[in-house]
Structure 1
Amino acid sequence: MTEGELQTYSLVELAVERLRREILSGRSDPGERLVEEQLTRRLGISRAPLREAMRLLAQQGLVEHIPRRGARVATLSDDDVRELYEVRDVLERHAVSSMPAAPDLTALRAALDAMREATEAGDRLELANAHRRFHTEVVALGGNRQLADLYGSVLVRIQLYMAVNMRREAEAARAAEGVLRHERLFAAVERGDVQGIAAALNDHGARTYLT
């Protein structure tokens, strides 16, 4: 890779990371138009790396390209979201059933601590990041890397809706309730209580995020 290619690739990565964080934090709503001229100015990049970044975000299910209308933040119907949550639930249950007797909870504990800190600080972006990380770490405890990768691809498609919900929680001063739900889940994992884990997951399942 030449120096010029490396620079362009770095700009693509930068654009992907910034736009992905904005979408998954709830700063950009589903269906919101992504205007190329505005984005090139705001990100300080040319159209070529921006278009490549948009292509990669579309592969992740976060951006949609509409013929003759440009790009927008991806939208999902209520049925789409319910189906994705059904898949998520199946993957989580399988991972939970495969957990070892004494799993290493270091990463899971760190994600929970990050959720507490973000809630106290009112940092919606970091709260969204910690929320994703927590669920990813729960599934990773099952030890199936392929399943964890599949889970991640499903989670990222519904994360923008989760982010909208977390924004509403924050606006209603109820963000601490999300921490309590995850504390219950962590406690069940720590006890090795499979039924308790399933109950905790169900307690903040799809219905929490659907309007």
Structure 2
Amino acid sequence: MKPSDSLQDFAYEEIKKRIQNGEYAPGTKLNTQEISDSLGISRSPVLAAINRLIALGLVEATPRKGTTVAQLSDTQIRNIIEARQMMELFCVKLCIRNIEYHPSIIKEMETVVQEFETALEAGYPAAAELETKFHTLYISLCGNPQIMKLYESNWSIGTMFYMYSATNLPLDQLKTSFHQHKEILNTLKAKDEAALQKIIEEHMSIVYETLEWYSQAAKH
């Protein structure tokens, strides 16, 4: 990998994270010079990163207006959520099959579950980081790099926190969702395929409820 590639990836992840946690709210104009200064890098990798975010649909480019953070529609968000649910459910059998071969991943997931205990007090950025880490570790257990790539490019977890920050949804309303991670992990370790599918569906139902909240808030 060329140094320029790693800087582009760094800029891409950082800008995406700022959109996710609400620092760059929908409609915010992205000033490439300000972003490059804040990241301590040149404008070239920032421009390349923004082009990737345009392709992902998180940023919009308008002639004579520049680039702004996109206002995702209900349909766009629902499509992302459905794709996420499809991948997480598809991976149930694969993850259970591979669990014995990846004890380090399980250990990392256990650490994340413990850290969720203080996630509510830490705010959006910390909660989003933990949520992303837990589910990414889960998907990595499937052992299929193509699925992993699709999951990450789908902005599967980021969409949820985009909705939270865009509507100022209090994180304490998500206690049930956070506590479900422990149940997901325990069910995975027990290798109970039916129970794991059920808890993932219950976990996703909270995401769909958040979409309804987002839809109502967008109308006001």
Q: TM-score, normalised by structure 1?
A: 0.78
Is residue 78 from structure 1 mapped to residue 66 from structure 2 by the alignment? no
State the shift of 1:115 in Å: 2.5
After the TM superposition, which of the residue ranges 198-207 and 45-54 deviates more from structure 2?
45-54
Look up the match of 1:181. Answer: 180
8 Å contact kept, 2:98–2:142? no
State the shift of 1:60 in Å: 4.2
Is residue 197 from structure 1 mapped to residue 193 from structure 2 by the alignment? no
Distance change (3 Å), C-alpha of 1:50 and 1:176: same
Alignment of 1:24-173 (within 5 A): 24-36=20-32, 38-39=34-35, 42-43=38-39, 47-101=43-97, 103=99, 104=103, 105-119=106-120, 121-154=121-154, 156=155, 159-165=158-164, 168-170=169-171, 173=172
8 Å contact kept, 1:96–1:194? yes
State the shift of 1:48 in Å: 3.8
Deviation digits for residues 88-108 of structure 1 (CA, Å, limit 9, x no counterpart): 222111110222357131222
State the alpha-carbon separation in 2 of the partners of residues 11 and 112 from structure 1.
Answer: 31
Deviation digits for residues 37-61 of structure 1 (CA, Å, limit 9, x no counterpart): 5545655665444323322333444
**Which runs of 4 or more aligned residues in structure 1 lie more than 4 Å from their structure 2 counterparts after TM superposition?**
8-14, 40-47
State the shift of 1:149 in Å: 1.4
Residue ranges of structure 2 left out of the alignment (5+ in a row): 215-220
Percent same amino acid at aligned positions? 26
8 Å contact kept, 1:31–1:75? yes
Q: Report how many aligned residue pairs link the two structures.
A: 203
8 Å contact kept, 2:80–2:159? no
After the TM superposition, which of the residue ranges 198-207 and 14-23 deviates more from structure 2?
14-23
State the shift of 1:64 in Å: 2.1
State the shift of 1:128 in Å: 0.3
State the alpha-carbon separation in 2 of the partners of residues 38 and 78 from structure 1.
Answer: 30
Deviation digits for residues 106-153 of structure 1 (CA, Å, limit 9, x no counterpart): 22222323333433x424212101101111122222222211211111
State the alpha-carbon separation in 1 of the partners of residues 156 and 27 from structure 2.
Answer: 14
Helix, strand or coil for the counterpart of 1:204? helix
State the alpha-carbon separation in 2 of the partners of residues 181 and 94 from structure 1.
Answer: 19
Distance change (3 Å), C-alpha of 1:144 and 1:80: same
Is residue 208 from structure 1 mapped to residue 213 from structure 2 by the alignment? no
State the shift of 1:34 in Å: 1.9
State the shift of 1:201 in Å: 1.6
Distance change (3 Å), C-alpha of 1:190 and 1:30: farther
Distance change (3 Å), C-alpha of 1:49 and 1:136: closer
Alignment of 1:5-24 (within 5 A): 12=8, 15-24=11-20
After the TM superposition, which of the residue ranges 16-25 and 40-49 deviates more from structure 2?
40-49
8 Å contact kept, 1:114–1:127? no
